Amino acid sequence: MGNEVMCLRIFPDKMVFYTGEIDMNQQQARVLGNLLRAKRQELGFSTYQLAAAAGVNSSTVVRIELGQFAAPRPDKLAKFAKALGMNLGEIFAMAGYIVPEELPDLDIYLSTKYPDLSKSDLRKMELTLKELRAK
């Protein structure tokens, strides 16, 4: 039995909605849990440290790592991805969440990824990338 979810991604100039069926079997849940555990251990985090960094209970970390969640919530997966420095799209795909195929425009991506940079610096990055692609 799957779980229908609706996700919303907000960009400065648009919002993207997408829905999908989450149907992760026990094996997939274990694979996802093993991946998260391996990354946590690689970084030298305890389950308590990861829980604190992700803003969740340590029991949530343990249960996800053991593959005991058939459909971990997207917000929790996003917190784990951020705390572990992992690609959220890959984690969502492993968990069975539909990842939107449409990517944001470069300027929106850069300003979201690097919010501390000035608009001028972001523009320089965008121009540099366009010059590189033109070669």
β-bridge mates for residue 8, sequence order: 17
Q: What is the mean pLDDT of residues 18-23?
A: 52
Torsion of CA 60, 61, 63, 65, to 10 degrees: 160
Q: Is the pLDDT of residue 134 over 70?
A: yes
What are the residue ranges spanned by the domains of the chain? Answer: 3-102, 104-135
Give the homologous superfamily in CATH for domain 3-102: lambda repressor-like DNA-binding domains (1.10.260.40)
Residue 109 reports pLDDT greater than 90: no
